[in-house]
A and B are shown apart, each in its own frame.
Chain A
Amino acid sequence: MFKSRKSVSIAAVSVVLLAQGALAAEEQFFPITSYRVGPYGANGQSFFGGFVDYLNYVNIKEGGVNGVKLVWEECETEYNNAKGIECYERLKDKAKVSSGPIHPMSTGISYALIEKTAADKIPMAMVGYGRTDAVDGSVFPYAFPLVTTYQMQASAIVKFIKEKEKGSLAGKKIVFLYHDSAYGKEPIVALQEEAKLNKFELTVIPVAHPGNEQGAQWLQIRQEKPDYVVFWGWGVMNQTALKAAQKVGFPREKMIGSWWAGSEEDTVPAGDAAKGYMSATWNVAGKNVPLISDIEKVVYGAGKGNLQDTSKIGTILYNRGVSVAVLSVEAIRKAQEKYGKGKAMTGEQVRWAMENLNISNARLKQIGAVDLLPEIKTSCDNHEGSGQVKIQQWDGTKWVVVSNWIEGNKALIHPLFKASAKQYATEKGITPRDCSKES
């Protein structure tokens, strides 16, 4: 057996060595840890489809970023932490030469990669998920919870409800129904702070993974008679909740979900139970965004589209993938401005760029993505860069945006990140950088 194990490992080593072919000098590599099969495969297909389509789009339309062609390699994680690490380690050697930000698209995997990416000097973006206290760049130089975080989102939802309730939430009752995992638990602190500030009553109700049985929870909600349900679901839990809400007669117009509970994959299976349901989102759906329709024309016209099911173009998650790719490519552009146009950028250089992103509406307009995503301006102190979301409502067939960009209460939420990052730094023995000395 020892012999056979050795020969298998020799065979595997040679396969791995073959995989590490030399990279041409002017290619910008993107390590992509994606999931297109497994429990969340449907979500992953739309998201990574959008991501890859935009990279292709930049290659076709502009011949890459200042002539540097974008290349990538995908590795299937199946949303599984161990597989995610295996994928990361596999892609790492190429990423050490030149690397765009890595997007794990899974809170579990991003947590596991935080230390590894920092040690390997590969920037990791967690756009709308992941370790939220990485907003504090002094402790987490290589991790970027870009655009907005769960806490800021929860705070923005509270703000939205407050506006609906004519400026006061005093004496109101809000139930927080959440997926009992790292993802669902993170906003609780923020909501508790908001409850103190706005004097509403907060009840938190967990739902165990995967959440396809919520009878007890909705019975409790019926007894509590809350004014609103803030909902942090994921995967199959979302449609189940909508159907359960219909069953107990809770108005869906009073239910506001997170951005992981606000895609077509969640509402369509719930049928008419989803009508009126609202959710937060940091990117809008639809093909009427110029960039999205142009991608369809250019990339799919050239037969290089990544999606097999083209009806997914323009869905929330597809557009999210495109938005994330826009951010990544803009970071490459920014890095090239500083370190040399027409060159492939290393992870370290891209990291600097991600910390100094400044994507204004004017720039978004040039790309054709204005209103697809909010303006972003990051710094060492603020790896989030925006904190804004929109609220959208399902009208039975599509998502309709019902608000402007709403920013969460930064003064309330960001100190929470600072405190949490500080605790992490002490536990890990990290000396935070001095952000005032960063350029």
Chain B
Amino acid sequence: MIYREAGQFKTSYAADQQLFPIRQDRIGVLIVLAVAFLAIPAVASEYWFSAILIPFLIFSLAALGLNILTGYAGQLSLGSAAFMAVGAYAAYNFQLRIEGIPILVSFACAGLTAAGVGILFGLPSLWIKGFYLAVATLAAQFFIVWCLTKFPWFSNHSSSGVISAQKIVIFGHEFASPREKYLLVLTLVAVMALAAKNMVRSSTGRAWMAVRDMDVAAEVIGIRLMPTKLLAFAVSSFYCGVAGALYAFCYLGSVEPDGFSLDMSFRILFMIIIGGAGSILGSFLGAAFILLLPIFLDIALPRMAGLLGLPFSNATVSHIQILLFGTLIMFFLIVEPHGLARLWQIGKEKLRLWPFPH
């Protein structure tokens, strides 16, 4: 009843082409942004900022990057963590080696560097598809991590290979507290997510989806495969690169190449599978599910065990947590193979018909 667009007439092209055509959606997005920008900083504790919100936003951004490549353009990739590593190390080196470079410029350059590397490793996609491409991008995962470990220049000859992110100073203001870092990450993620939302409905996004659905057909209707696929790799890696830079600068503070392991790439892939491939919202839902559920279980399980009087040790709780987590993933995949975003979509359709389903 509330969620119905009846009576919302589009009288101009601008109105017809806006990002969120339904008024309720616009209001919803504004409320979410207002909560994220105003309410959360006012009430959340340091634990929430540094352990939950910041990693959630950063991984959402990385998942968004992978979603552009895999969900929209249909190119399976297992190298997301490696592109994040490129971003992190590039941002560090730009800050280190160019005197007085603004940090946001460094982040942008880090994204561009990752985009360049992404194009390089996207080249095999012109010849191979599907699982074979996934194996080719696996090469990126191993090569980049090896490269960052092998050449000490990347880590400024640190004896351990660990880089320690510089201070974040924008217009003379230092972003030191978790709250400020959260706001910085949130701003970047919000802008980039809206940009992605806009991009996927543009001709570029439509070309990606055409290639995803059937590349021969796409070629027949005049979409050039090479630029389309490589652009998808570039944009995707750009997002991952910025996410990597934020991961190093706003979350961990110091990173080593081994941290960006295949394991992390898989996690990002799981995020878009659970959240929903080919959906911007899905990237956020997936990141929330994969990151927050284990923490929630970790905190809730010992408490439940305490209530029931079960003698759970820490190790048992961890084992149960892994078990439950795996079971929930399977449950969701069986109940809704198209991910959490699809559930939201179904909910929306139902709301439109409510209270008169036919």
Could you tell me which A residues sit within 8 Å of B by CB distance? 1-2, 5-6, 8, 12-13, 15-16, 18-19, 34, 36-38, 41, 45, 74-76, 78, 81-82, 85-86, 89-90, 92-93, 107-108, 111-112, 114-116, 131, 180-183, 185-186, 188-189, 206, 208-209, 308, 420, 424, 427-429
Contacts and interface: CB of A to CB of B under 8 A. Distances in A.
A255 B31 CA distance: 64
11 contacts: A12-B292, A16-B47, A37-B322, A76-B315, A85-B51, A90-B299, A181-B161, A186-B160, A188-B159, A208-B146, A424-B164
Contact of A92 (B46, B298, B318, B347): B46
B47 A92 contact: yes
Contact of A76 (B52, B162, B318): B318
Specify the main secondary structure of chain A where it touches its partner: helix
Given A37-B318, A37-B319, A427 B31 contact: no
Contacts of B166: 427-428
A131 to B, nearest CB: 8
A50 to B, nearest CB: 15
Contacts of B118: none
A8 B347 CA distance: 18
Interface stretch (B70-78, B250-258, B328-336): B250-258
Specify the main secondary structure of chain B where it touches its partner: helix
B160 A182 contact: yes
Interface in B13-71: 28, 31-32, 35, 45-48, 50-52, 55
Contacts of B45: 16, 93
B149 interface: yes
Interface in B314-358: 314-315, 317-319, 322, 340, 344, 347
B147 interface: no
Interface residues of B, number: 50
B162 A111 contact: yes
A12 B291 CA distance: 13
A90 B51 contact: yes
Contacts, number: 124
B288 interface: yes
A181 B256 contact: yes
Given A427-B166, A428-B167, A108 B259 contact: yes
B159 A186 contact: yes
B201 interface: no
Contact of B164 (A45, A107, A427): A427
B296 interface: yes
A185 B253 contact: no
A423 to B, nearest CB: 8
B303 interface: yes
Interface in B283-308: 285, 288, 292, 295-296, 298-300, 303
B191 interface: no
B226 interface: no
Contact of B253 (A76, A116, A181): A116
B253 A78 contact: no
Contacts of B159: 185-186, 188-189, 420
B315 A36 contact: yes
B140 interface: no
A171 to B, nearest CB: 27
A427 B300 CA distance: 41
A89 B50 contact: yes
A182 B161 contact: yes
B263 to A, nearest CB: 9
- Indicate the member of B146, B167, B303, B314 with the most A CB atoms within 10 Å: B314
Contacts of B146: 208
Contact of A85 (B50, B281, B313, B340): B50
